[in-house]
Chains A and B, each alone.
Chain A
Amino acid sequence: MISMHRALTLGALFGALFAQNGSAQSASDKDNIQGWADRNSLSIRKAFDGTKAEQSPATLLWLLDMVGDDKEYSVIDLAAKVGQWDLAPRSADRLLIIYPVGEYHRQTQESKRAYNASLGLKGEFQLGVAKPAAPTSPPPGLEQPRGSVVAPLFMVDGKWGRDFEAASTNQRYSALLTLISNQRWLPSSDVRDARGILRLRYYPYLGIEHFRTSKDDDNQSETFATGRLHVSVWPISGLARRVQFVGETTYRGRLSGELSRHDAKDYSAGLNYYFDEHAHFGLGLEYLRGNDPDQSFKFRERMSLAFKVLM
Chain B
Amino acid sequence: MAESLTNELVQKHVIWFLSGATLLKPEKIYLEYVLKDFPLLLDDKKLGNLTLQLRGYVQQYKPNATVLAPEVRKKGLTVSALVDLIVKKVK
Contact = CB atoms under 8 A, between A and B. Distances in A.
Interface of A: 37-38, 41, 84, 86, 89-95, 97, 124, 126, 129-136, 138-143, 145-147, 151, 153, 178, 180, 182, 184, 188-190, 192, 196-198, 203, 240-241, 277-279, 311
Given A188-B46, A196-B25, A147 B53 contact: yes
Contact of B22 (A41, A138, A190, A279): A190
B22 A89 contact: no
A89 B68 contact: yes
A130 B23 CA distance: 13
Given A92-B59, A145-B53, 18 more contacts: A41-B74, A124-B44, A124-B45, A126-B48, A130-B49, A133-B20, A135-B19, A135-B23, A135-B25, A136-B16, A136-B25, A141-B4, A147-B52, A180-B46, A188-B45, A198-B39, A278-B38, A279-B37
Mostly helix, strand, loop or mixed at chain B's interface?
Answer: helix
B79 to A, nearest CB: 14
Contacts of A94: 52
Given A86-B68, A129-B56, A278-B37, A153 B25 contact: no
Interface string B8-47: 0100110011011111111010000010011101001110
Interface residues of B, number: 42
Contacts of B46: 180, 188
A35 B48 CA distance: 22
B19 to A, nearest CB: 4
B68 A38 contact: no
A90 B69 contact: no
Nearest to A40: B70
Nearest to A136: B26
Sorted nearest first, the 6 A-B pairs with minimum C-beta distance are: A132-B20, A134-B20, A92-B56, A134-B19, A129-B52, A92-B55
B20 A38 contact: no
Nearest to B77: A38
B12 A139 contact: yes
Mostly helix, strand, loop or mixed at chain A's interface?
Answer: loop
Interface centre among B4, B17, B23, B41 (most CB of A within 10 A): B23
Given A89-B66, A178-B45, A38 B74 contact: yes
Contacts of A146: 56
Contacts of A92: 52, 55-56, 59
Interface centre among B13, B25, B41, B74 (most CB of A within 10 A): B41
B41 A198 contact: yes
A116 to B, nearest CB: 25
Given A95-B52, A129-B49, A197 B68 contact: no
B5 interface: yes
A145 B20 contact: yes
A239 B34 CA distance: 19
